[in-house]
């Protein structure tokens, strides 16, 4: 399967036979929504992952092609009318940007709360929310081999320049982590850092591997969808061998390389080339951990999740996180109530063996930290939702159970109210103080805001 990478987008999609054969209304939906939310696919996704006999209901089609229901009706009608009227590119972009700003392009005060500084200089291509972990957004990695329709990083791809995270200076990353000895993990993220040529990725990673360079860093993580959407990156691309050699260099340096692989449906794991790619990555000594949100229309049933986790385990991957869909983009299309997310997770968890029960969830990556829904219980005569922090801005919050009033409709942390007559959750006053010290105003409404990365 030595095929060259060829991006499919609004400009050339009509040349793809499977797309050209779609009903006119469906093609129009792709074009309308694709002018607001990002759309990019490739021949591997189109030829090997989508069941075109089941379109538009096929989950991989919904995962990669923008559909009409992914915009609110008024916004859809506005863009449709402008396209029908022959609006100019400038007019379309202006209207699309107005709609984008209503879609919460950077939830979580990401531009305010998590950006670190070095010698007084803001590092806008980095995020440092948790003591041990720094996120790094290489500027050349701000795209993907194909875009997911649920993507919470969609502002990176649609021209909202002041909403992008990106950095070119590799030495600033090393200098920052050397100045913060508590940092043990660096996560390269994007977009997708593996869209970069290996020679470019090396410029960011190798300074960390040099003798005396960032000795406190024990783990390098790479967050990527490439295994699912372009496994050729690890098999037949012209620099696949060099990429695998770089992975081995990281491992040989004594550090752990954690490949944070995004898989949302078992179909993504079933082709022969993705299984070969997984073997190649694992042969370098890298560890593959997997994660996905639970998504309405895609994987919101326990047997699907269980089948995916079993297959991941069989292939030597470690199921890691099941996330809750975030408050951004096409959230209204994909989101589920928290209690439903938990029920799906609990049933799927019960269907797999112990080796697959490494997965944690459902988890909300919110302003205070990663909040896991542990379940529903009755305490002191009150029905409650039981939660705990898996990660927190203050490490002392981690592992603490806390309780919210039971709600069948709550979809995020800000939809929940403290149980037992309490006015606030235990972390709220300290969180407000922490963010105030950073010069970032905060209110309880900010509980709605997810952080930058789930990894």
- DSSP letters, 212-256, are TSSTT--EEEEEE-HHHH-GGGGTTSTTHHHHHHHHHHHHHTT-E
Domain 110-448 belongs to what topology?
Answer: TIM Barrel (3.20.20)
At residue 326, φ and ψ (nearest 5 deg) are -95, 165
Who has greater pLDDT, 327 or 93? Answer: 93
d(CA 4, CA 2) in angstroms, rounded, equals 7
Residue range 419-444, pLDDT digits in tens: 999 999 999 999 999 888 776 655 55
Enumerate the CATH 3.20.20.70 domain ranges in the chain, comma separated.
Answer: 110-448
Q: What pLDDT is recorded for position 266?
A: 99
Residue with tokens 């129009």: 28
> What is the spatial distance between Cα 5 and Cα 226, in angstroms, rounded to a whole number?
12
Name the β-bridge partners of 117: 122
Q: Which of 269, 312, 306 is nearest to 288 (CA)?
A: 312
Confirm if 113 and 435 have CB atoms less than 8 A apart: yes
Strands 7-8 and 41-42: antiparallel
Statement: residue 342 has pLDDT above 60:
yes
The pLDDT value given to residue 178: 93
Q: How far is CA 381 from CA 202, 344, 373, 400, 405, in A?
A: 58, 25, 20, 21, 12
pLDDT-based confidence at 213, cuts 50/70/90? confident
- pTM score, whole prediction: 0.92
3-state SS string over 132-163?
Answer: CEEEECEHHHCCCCCCCCCCCCHHHHCCCHHH
Higher pLDDT, 125 or 235: 235
Can you give the pLDDT at residue 450?
47
Residues 91, 94, 99, 101, Cα dihedral to 10°: 180
Q: Specify whether the CB–CB gap between 39 and 65 falls below 8 A.
A: yes
Task: Pick the closest to residue 438 from 110, 88, 189 (CA basis).
Answer: 110
Q: Look at residues 387, 390, 389, 381 and name the one whose alpha carbon lies nearest to residue 404.
A: 387
Is it the case that residue 449 has pLDDT exceeding 60? no
List the single range of 120-129, 246-255, 357-366, 388-397 with lowest mean pLDDT.
120-129
β pairing state of 382-392 and 401-405? antiparallel
Q: What is the DSSP letter of 273?
A: H
Bridge partners for 324 per DSSP: 294
Q: What is the mean pLDDT of residues 323-350?
A: 92
């Amino acid at each position: 399967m030595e095929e060259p990478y060829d991006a499919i987008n609004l400009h050339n999609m009509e040349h793809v036979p499977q797309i050209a054969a779609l009903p006119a209304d469906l093609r129009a939906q792709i074009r309308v929504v694709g002018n607001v939310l990002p759309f990019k696919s490739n021949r591997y996704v189109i030829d090997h992952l989508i069941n075109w006999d089941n379109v538009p209901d096929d989950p991989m089609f919904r995962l990669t092609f923008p559909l009409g229901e992914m915009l609110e009706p008024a916004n859809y009608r506005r863009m449709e009318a402008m396209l029908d009227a022959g609006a100019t590119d400038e007019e379309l972009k202006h209207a699309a940007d107005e709609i984008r700003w209503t879609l919460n392009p950077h939830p979580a005060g990401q531009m305010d709360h998590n950006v670190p500084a070095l010698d007084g200089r803001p590092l806008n291509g980095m995020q440092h929310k948790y003591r041990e972990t720094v996120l790094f957004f290489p500027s050349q990695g701000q795209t993907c081999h194909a875009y997911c329709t649920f993507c919470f990083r969609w502002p990176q791809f649609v021209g909202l320049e002041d909403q992008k995270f990106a950095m070119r200076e590799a030495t600033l990353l090393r200098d920052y982590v050397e100045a913060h000895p508590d940092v043990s993990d660096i996560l390269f993220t994007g977009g997708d850092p593996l869209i970069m040529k290996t020679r470019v990725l090396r410029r960011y990673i190798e300074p960390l591997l040099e003798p005396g360079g960032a000795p406190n860093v024990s783990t390098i993580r790479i967050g990527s969808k490439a295994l699912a959407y372009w496994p050729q990156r690890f098999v037949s691309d012209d620099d696949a061998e060099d990429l695998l050699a770089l992975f081995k260099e990281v491992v040989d340096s004594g550090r752990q390389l954690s490949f944070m692989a995004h898989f949302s449906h078992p179909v993504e794991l079933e082709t022969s080339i993705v299984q070969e790619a997984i073997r190649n990555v694992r042969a370098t000594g890298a560890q593959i951990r997997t994660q996905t949100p639970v998504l309405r229309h895609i994987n919101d049933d326990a047997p699907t999740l269980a089948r995916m986790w079993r297959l991941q385990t069989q292939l030597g991957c470690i199921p890691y996180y099941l996330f809750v869909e975030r408050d951004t983009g096409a959230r209204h299309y994909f989101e589920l109530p928290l209690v439903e997310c938990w029920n799906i997770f609990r049933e799927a968890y019960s269907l797999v063996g112990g080796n697959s029960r490494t997965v944690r969830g459902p988890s909300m990556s919110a302003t205070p930290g990663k909040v896991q829904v542990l379940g529903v219980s009755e305490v002191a005569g009150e029905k409650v939702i039981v939660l705990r922090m898996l990660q927190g801005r203050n490490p002392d919050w981690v592992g603490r159970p806390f309780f919210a009033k039971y709600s069948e409709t709550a979809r995020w942390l800000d939809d929940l109210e403290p149980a037992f007559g309490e006015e606030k959750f235990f972390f709220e006053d300290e969180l407000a103080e922490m963010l105030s010290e950073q010069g970032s105003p905060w209110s309880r409404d900010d509980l709605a805001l997810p952080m930058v990365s789930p990894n």
